[in-house]
Structure 1
Amino acid sequence: MDYSAMKTYAVVLSLFVVVSAVNEKEQQFSNHLKCNLESKPSEGEILPTTDWIDIKDECVNLARKQIRMEFEAALAYFQLGAYFSQYDTNRPGFAKFFFDASTEERSHAIKVFDYLLMRGQLTTYHPDPQLHTLLMGTSTNKSTELSKLSEALKKKEVKGGLDALNMALKYEVAVTRSIKRMIKACENEEVLSESDKLSLEKDEARVAPNDYHMVDWLITDLLDEQLRGQRELAGRISTLYKMKEGYGVIADFLYDKKLLEELNSKAA
């Protein structure tokens, strides 16, 4: 290698070292600015107090089970939507109705999830924060309607819209009962003893066992919508049943057509 080539090589090498050093410096500075969300606080590090997290464990456990149940309902309605979408069934009105119902149930699960996050649950420092744990295992709050529906679809026992609507109503009732159990647990109507009342008055850090906010949220946001949904299903069942008395086997076809028009007009 001649002198000029060696000189050029030396200049390129020095530039590479300088650029590498600058990039490393920038990377260090960038890392310094980043928040490491996965790291746990070191000893002595100041974190927000957890005194504001006063939700009862029983309410949390039931809410976590409710999330799983809402997803089960979403899956059940998705199965029914798929059933009515098949070419040999071909009921687009019922298919759209149940696909929309599936989306609604999934939104309910997300609502409960968001509420738990708002109350300080399912966070990094919670003993069991992962969402996937909400969807695994056997829940004591789990109904048998989903397994019955899967079996009925497998055996082609769902004869038409009337059977499907009746199945949906049974599932809604199961979900409603689950919400009411949650309300009961969070309301906690037990009568406090005089000593407990005095303790609450003296110790400002203690709170009454009633979770009024969660009860109010469950009633206004979930239960109200749930009861209205049950009423709607009951009305549809009644209408279709009466149509079958007058129109016989074509009642499903006529109701499906009307249902599709109704849903499309609402979406427009």
Structure 2
Amino acid sequence: MAWCFRDIRRHMCMLMRQNFAKSCEKKLNDQINMELKASHQYLAMAYHFDRSDISSPGMHRFFLKASAEEREHAEKIMTYMNKRGGLIILSSVPQPLPCFANSLDALKHAMKMELEVNKHLLDLHALAGKEADPNLCDFIEANFLQEQVDGQKILADYISQLEKAQSQVGEFLFDKYMGSGMHPAK
């Protein structure tokens, strides 16, 4: 009986589904899982920099905020999937890298992750265009594309500044600089 009720509920969800290709649904599920993976990695990075032997509160705050933003992205996509009648499929989140030699290595890893996420979003947008799904195109444009570009610029600036510092004192000063807000919140 429980299976029957669940099938009826799923059927009702499918009734509202319009112009939402299975390929887009699959790609959105991939994006959700990619965002959750990034959130998990950023959370691990945040608490790496919070350790007493590392003690980098600026980096801790930066990566903690990044983790929350990635989780919010995943939640936003899941809400969208439900509105479109899609089925959310969460996969297991891989174990994050445990630690980094220094702030520069962590920021470079963050940039690599952001470029990967951005490429996937661009591929998703292209697929939505190919599948003639203007609603999905609009959703991606309105909620993600500019934010990705802005985030990549911030990371590139931080990486550039840290590469110029190249010393323990430089890293300490950079962390203090991050705390004061090279890129103040909007």
Identify whether the pair has TM-score above 0.5, normalized to the shorter chain: yes
Greater gyration radius: 1
- Corresponding residue for residue 121 of structure 2: 179
Structure 1 segment 61-100 matched on structure 2, within 5 A: 61-100=26-65
Q: Quote the Cα distance in structure 2 between the aligned partners of 1:49 and 1:262.
A: 46
Q: Over residues 181-215 of structure 1, what are the superposed CA-to-partner deviations in whole Å (9 max), with x where a residue is unaligned? A: 11111111xxxxxxxxxxxxxxxxxxxx4001111
- SS of 2:39's equivalent in the other structure is helix
Which protein is richer in helix relative to its size? 2
* Aligned pairs for 1:4-23 within 5 A: none
Structure 1 residues 217 and 253 mapped into 2: Cα distance closer, same or farther (>3 Å)?
same
Other-structure match for 2:151: 229
Residue type at the aligned position of 2:97: S
What is the distance in 1 between the residues matched to 2:170 and 2:65?
A: 22
1:202-251, CA deviations, whole angstroms, 9 ceiling, x for partnerless residues? Answer: xxxxxxx400111121122111111111111001111121122xxx3211
Q: What does 1:1-268 correspond to in 2, within 5 Å?
A: 39=5, 50=15, 52-122=17-87, 133-136=89-92, 150=97, 153=99, 158-188=100-130, 209-244=131-166, 248-262=167-181, 266=185
Q: TM-score, normalised by structure 2?
A: 0.86
Q: Please give the TM-score of this superposition, normalised by the length of structure 1.
A: 0.61
Conserved 8 A contact 2:45-2:63: yes
Name the Cα RMSD after superposition: 2.6
The higher relative CO (CA closer than 8 Å, separation ≥ 6) is in 2
Q: Secondary structure at the match of 1:225?
A: helix
| 8 Å Cα contact 2:31-2:120 kept in structure 1 | yes
Unaligned runs of 5+ in 2: none
Return the letter of the residue paired with 1:167: H
Unaligned stretches of 5+ residues in structure 1: 1-37, 123-130, 138-145, 189-208
- Per the alignment, do residues 49 and 161 of structure 1 end up closer, same or farther by CA in structure 2, a change over 3 Å counting? closer
Deviation at residue 84 of structure 1 after TM alignment? 0.3
SS of equivalent residue, structure 2 residue 63: helix
Q: Is the 8 A contact 2:17 2:86 kept in 1?
A: no
